């Protein structure tokens, strides 16, 4: 259910950005969503504080995972199709595990590296197979921004993984959203002031409401609940369907063109994710950094 809500979010946000400035949207989305999640966190856990020693890491994860991620994400949607952004988002698990290996958090076997090569080939097909893909074209720029957003999300997940043994995922996500949106405010202030809110239609406000309530609070609540009930591995498996479903929704509702090459590239990326999730993935030996979670 959570991944279905996130899959539709690509199309909803693409439409909403036609009426709301790209820098205004994430401030309102994560500012309002963060406040709502803080209220829920207080109800669930009774407190919203964190240790002072953990604040630098939380600040870094919020800036990278929300501030930078959302700047890349919203501008990617203004420069390329929602279907492209959705398909490229499927590289998140592969990027995360690859970075975890690079910094010594995990050890990977041959299946993962075969999956990495397949995933790289799939990404190349998505980027080069678009109807508007060419050097200097806005579609190519948008694909690069989408990959940048995915990379930020990956780095942020590794940062927060070091705190999961002390705080709940819900608490960490709440602080990320509040910190990330707060840092965005100074950069978004001119856009927040100049935005013509009277010209935003009911559909535009509906898009914002969807991203805050359904794709924000509810989807994250369902996702965290899934991790608690069936574990992170099984929950993450469903995320592979998010990109494929997001691309299909964008093509159906926004009438975007998805070429055969892009479609095949998306299938290859998803297949590479499934291939890389094998028993060849091992935690780092004693003495190194602990594995995420």
List, for residues 230-257, the tens digit of each pLDDT value: 544 455 555 666 777 777 788 788 877 7
DSSP letters for 187-250: HHHHHHHH--GGG--HHHHHHHHIIIIIIIIIHHHHHHHHHHHH-HHHHHHTHHHHHHHHHHHH
DSSP 91: G
List, for residues 33-73, the tens digit of each pLDDT value: 899 888 888 888 877 778 888 889 889 989 998 899 999 99
Q: How many CB atoms lie within 10 A of CB 186?
A: 8
- pLDDT greater than 70 at residue 280: no
Cβ distance 250 to 81 under 8 Å?
A: yes
Least confident piece of the model among 6-15, 21-30, 136-145 = 136-145
Domain boundaries, the chain: 2-283
Of 86, 99, 72, nearest to 184 by C-alpha is 72
Going by pLDDT thresholds of 50, 70 and 90, the confidence category of residue 278 is: low
- Computed from CA positions of residues 222, 226, 227, 232, in that sequence, does the dihedral angle turn out positive or negative? negative
- pLDDT greater than 60 at residue 228: no
């Amino acid at each position: 259910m959570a991944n279905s809500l996130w899959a539709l979010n690509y199309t909803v946000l693409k439409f909403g950005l036609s009426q709301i400035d790209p820098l205004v949207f994430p401030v309102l989305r994560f500012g309002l969503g963060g406040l709502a999640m803080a209220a829920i966190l207080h109800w669930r856990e009774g407190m919203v504080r964190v240790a002072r020693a953990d604040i630098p890491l939380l600040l870094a994860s919020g800036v990278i995972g929300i501030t930078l991620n959302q700047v890349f994400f919203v501008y990617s949607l203004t420069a390329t199709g929602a279907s492209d952004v959705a398909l490229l988002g499927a590289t998140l698990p592969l990027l995360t595990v690859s970075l975890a290996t690079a910094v010594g958090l995990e050890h990977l076997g041959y299946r993962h590296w075969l999956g990495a090569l397949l995933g790289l080939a799939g990404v190349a097909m998505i980027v080069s197979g678009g109807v508007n893909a060419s050097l200097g074209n806005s579609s190519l720029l948008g694909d690069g921004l989408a990959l940048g957003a995915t990379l930020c999300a990956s780095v942020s997940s590794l940062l927060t993984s070091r705190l999961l043994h002390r705080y709940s995922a819900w608490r960490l996500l709440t602080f990320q959203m509040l910190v990330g949106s707060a840092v965005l405010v100074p950069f978004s202030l001119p856009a927040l002031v100049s935005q013509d809110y009277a010209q935003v239609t009911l559909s535009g406000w509906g898009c914002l409401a969807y991203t805050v309530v359904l794709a924000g609070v509810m989807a994250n609540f369902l996702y965290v609940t899934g991790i608690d009930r069936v574990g992170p591995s099984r929950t993450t498996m469903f995320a592979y369907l998010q990109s494929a479903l997001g691309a299909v929704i964008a093509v159906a509702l926004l009438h975007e063109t998805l070429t055969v090459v892009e479609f095949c590239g998306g299938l290859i990326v998803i297949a590479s994710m499934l291939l890389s999730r094998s028993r060849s993935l091992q935690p780092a030996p004693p003495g190194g950094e602990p594995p995420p979670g």
